[in-house]
Amino acid sequence: MDQLKDIIRDVPDFPKKGILFKDITTLLADAKSFQRMVDLLAHRYIGEKIDKVVGVEARGFVIGAALAYKLGAGIVLVRKPGKLPSETFKKTYALEYGTDTLEIHTDAIKPGERVLIADDLLATGGTMAAVVDMVQTMGGDLFECCFMAELEFLNGQKKLPEGKVFSLLKY
C-alpha cells in the first residue's frame, strides 16, 4: 500500500491556503498503479453479487466504472444538477458553509438491488452521506461505500452507516 501512497502527489495550499490536497491524478496516470488499485478494491467485492456501482462526480466515475467492469455490474452516475438528461431525484445537503445538491436518474437503481458506492476520497463524509441517502431512498440495498483513500483525521466515517465503509489507503 505504501507504493500506492507514494505515487499520490501532495499539493500544498490547494484549493486554499492551509490545505494539503491529495492529488490522485498521478496514481491514475500510472498504468500499473491504477491497475493494482482497481484490482485490490475489486477483490474485496468479487462474489458479492453487486448489481450497481454508483460513481460520484467526478473522480468517482473513474473508480466506479473500473470496479463495475471488474464486477460485471452496472455503473450509475451521481452528478451535479443539470448534468443528467432524464428525470432525476435530487438531494440537497449541508456543507461547512452553505449547501450543495446532487442528482441521480430516478430509474438508475431498482428496489432491492445490491449497491456499492465508489469514490476517490473520503474526507468529511457529507457528500457520501447524501449519496447513501439517495441510494436507500430509491430502495437500493447498500452493500458498502468504498474509497481509494481516506483522510481519517476528518472523521468522515461517522456520517456513514457503521460497518459499511472501506478505504484502501488511509492518511
Task: Tell whether 37 is covered by a domain.
Answer: no
Task: Tell whether 110 is covered by a domain.
Answer: yes
Task: Tell whether 10 is covered by a domain.
Answer: no
Kindly indicate the confidence band of residue 97, based on its pLDDT and cuts at 50, 70 and 90: confident
Q: What is the CATH number of the domain that holds 62?
A: 3.40.50.2020
Task: Tell whether 3 is covered by a domain.
Answer: no
pLDDT in tens, 108-124: 999 999 999 999 999 99
Task: Tell whether 69 is covered by a domain.
Answer: yes
d(CA 152, CA 150): 6
pLDDT in tens, 53-80: 999 999 999 999 999 999 999 999 999 9
Task: Tell whether 24 is covered by a domain.
Answer: no
Domain, as residue range, for 109: 48-170
Mean pLDDT of 132-159: 97
- Dig out the grid coordinates for 156 from the structure: 468522515
Task: Tell whether 119 is covered by a domain.
Answer: yes
Give the count of domains, the chain: 1
Q: How many angstroms separate the Cα of 134 from the Cα of each of 39, 84, 93, 130, 139?
A: 27, 15, 11, 6, 9
Task: Tell whether 56 is covered by a domain.
Answer: yes
Give the type of residue at 138.
M
Kindly indicate the confidence band of residue 96, based on its pLDDT and cuts at 50, 70 and 90: confident
Name the region of 8 (left: φ>0; alpha: ψ -120 to 50; beta: rest). beta
Active-site residue list? 59, 96
DSSP 3-state assignment of 128?
Answer: helix
With vertex at residue 95, the alpha carbon angle to CA 90 and CA 96, rounded to the nearest 5 degrees, is: 175
Entry pTM:
0.95
